[in-house]
């Protein structure tokens, strides 16, 4: 009986392995042609911005596919794929390989509009303190300042919840400047954690749509997402956010969330316009790549991808590195507002 049972289990395992191979298919071939076609097909099925950017992906794929054959070297393949995806001009598109990393760099050619932070600390800040994720202090006796360089964090880290301690320190301030210039993003939940301390009620702040097939214009319905108050206390006095062209991704979602509150004003420059939620993939040769899989819209269903979110008040810094005209405008704006 025992031998029959073992034999039956063995035959069952063989059957399941056979079925698994038939259902899932064999592993894709690790050839130059296969690696190129897998990536190109994935973008065709997932990437949501072809129509918005006026890009014919089929035509691009056809052109670059002719440069790939069985004798294509890894260096050549890296060059072909990099050239292909460079046409998307998207900060959430990236290729990682042992030969290097490709990502769109044109964003870094915009006017910076952010002086060295040490200058801000030396010339404008008083009683400066720092935590894991924030640098904060006072600009004067009435206006506080919080600098958030990034919304990135390690797994299970709760550093962004320290915003509660920051706001305890600044509780007597009549207004606050939140500086997110050069914040390239990070985890969306961290941005929402901070924004939730400045929101008075549950608000719809963004819509998402996903591409559901390779067909042109085939998207999911608009999916609303909400931000709501959280934390030990909520700061409901006037707030100014400082932005520049190097604010991307979850930093832009932070602006969307904060702008649901009437006491928030954005001063500075337009953001980078890189808001699609990215996913990560791996090719048969071990190379990894990233691409966005969703389109984000503000509460009015306006998509700022590729354009950026404009500020309420546009200010540019001069070449004088000893002054921050954007910050000075924020101080002047808030001083006038709290004196009303």
Give the pLDDT confidence of 292-323 residue by residue, as tens digits. 999 999 999 999 999 999 999 999 987 666 78
**Average pLDDT value for residue range 177-199:** 95
% of residues, the chain, pLDDT over 70: 90
One DSSP character per residue, 235-273 reads --S-EEEEE-TT--THHHHHHHHHTTSTTEEEEES----
Whole-number pLDDT of residue 14: 42
pTM reported for the whole predicted model: 0.87
Whole-number pLDDT of residue 8: 43
Whole-number pLDDT of residue 240: 98
pLDDT at 257 over 50: yes
**Average pLDDT value for residue range 217-223:** 92
**CATH 3.90.226.10 domain locations along the chain:** 109-338
Measured CA to CA, the distance from residue 315 to residue 254 in angstroms comes to 20
pLDDT band at 27, cuts 50/70/90? confident
pLDDT band at 155, cuts 50/70/90? low
**Average pLDDT value for residue range 227-233:** 93
Q: Name which residue leads in pLDDT, 200 or 6.
A: 200
**Assigned token pair, 213:** 């097939």
Sign of the Cα torsion 68, 71, 73, 76 reads negative
N-to-C CA span, the chain: 91
The alpha carbon of 197 is separated from its chain's Cα centroid by a whole number of angstroms, namely 20
pLDDT at 4 over 70: no
**Average pLDDT value for residue range 198-219:** 92
Write out the H or E segment, with its range, that includes residue 127.
strand 126-130
Whole-number pLDDT of residue 105: 81
Q: Across all residues in the chain, what is the average pLDDT?
A: 90
CA angle 296, 301, 305 (to 5 degrees): 40
**Assigned token pair, 325:** 């005209």
- Summarised one tens digit per residue, pLDDT across range 266-302 is 999 999 999 999 999 999 999 999 999 999 999 999 9
Whole-number pLDDT of residue 319: 64
DSSP letter at 21?
H
- Summarised one tens digit per residue, pLDDT across range 109-139 is 777 788 888 899 999 999 999 988 999 999 9
Whole-number pLDDT of residue 214: 83
pLDDT band at 25, cuts 50/70/90? low
**Average pLDDT value for residue range 220-227:** 96
Measured CA to CA, the distance from residue 225 to residue 210 in angstroms comes to 14
Are β-strands 126-130 and 135-138 bridged in parallel, bridged antiparallel, or unpaired?
A: antiparallel
SS3 71: coil
Pick the CATH number of 109-338 from 3.30.950.10, 3.90.226.10, 3.40.309.10, 3.30.590.20: 3.90.226.10
**Average pLDDT value for residue range 170-192:** 95
pLDDT band at 55, cuts 50/70/90? very high
């Amino acid at each position: 009986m025992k031998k029959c049972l073992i034999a039956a289990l063995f035959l069952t395992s063989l059957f399941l392995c056979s079925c698994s191979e038939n259902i899932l298919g064999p592993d894709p071939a690790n050839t130059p042609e296969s690696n190129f076609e897998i990536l190109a097909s994935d973008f065709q099925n997932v990437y949501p911005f072809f129509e918005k950017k006026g890009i014919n992906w089929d035509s691009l794929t056809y052109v670059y596919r002719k440069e790939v054959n069985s004798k294509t070297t890894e260096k050549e393949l890296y060059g072909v794929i990099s050239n292909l995806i460079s046409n998307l001009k998207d900060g959430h598109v990236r290729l990682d390989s042992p030969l290097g990393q490709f990502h769109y760099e044109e964003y870094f050619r915009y006017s910076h509009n952010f002086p060295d932070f040490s200058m801000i600390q030396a010339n404008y800040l008083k009683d400066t303190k720092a935590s894991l994720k924030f640098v904060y202090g006072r600009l004067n006796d009435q206006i506080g300042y919080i600098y958030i360089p990034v919304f990135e964090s390690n797994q299970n880290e709760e550093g962004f919840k320290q915003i509660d301690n920051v706001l305890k320190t600044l509780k007597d301030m009549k207004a606050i400047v939140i500086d997110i210039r050069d914040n390239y993003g990070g985890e969306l939940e961290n941005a929402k954690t901070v924004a939730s301390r400045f929101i008075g009620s549950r608000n719809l702040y963004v819509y998402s749509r996903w591409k559901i097939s390779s067909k042109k214009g085939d998207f999911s319905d608009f999916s609303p997402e909400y931000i709501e108050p959280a934390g030990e206390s909520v700061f409901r006095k006037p707030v100014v956010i400082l932005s520049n062209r190097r604010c991307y991704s979850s930093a832009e979602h932070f602006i969307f969330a904060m702008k649901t509150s009437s006491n928030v004003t954005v001063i500075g420059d337009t953001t980078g316009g890189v808001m699609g939620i990215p996913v990560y993939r791996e090719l048969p040769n071990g190379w990894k790549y990233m691409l966005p899989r969703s389109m984000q819209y503000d509460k009015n269903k306006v998509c700022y991808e590729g354009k950026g979110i404009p500020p309420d008040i546009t200010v540019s810094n001069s070449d004088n590195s000893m002054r921050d005209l954007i910050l000075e405008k924020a101080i002047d704006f808030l001083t006038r507002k709290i004196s009303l």
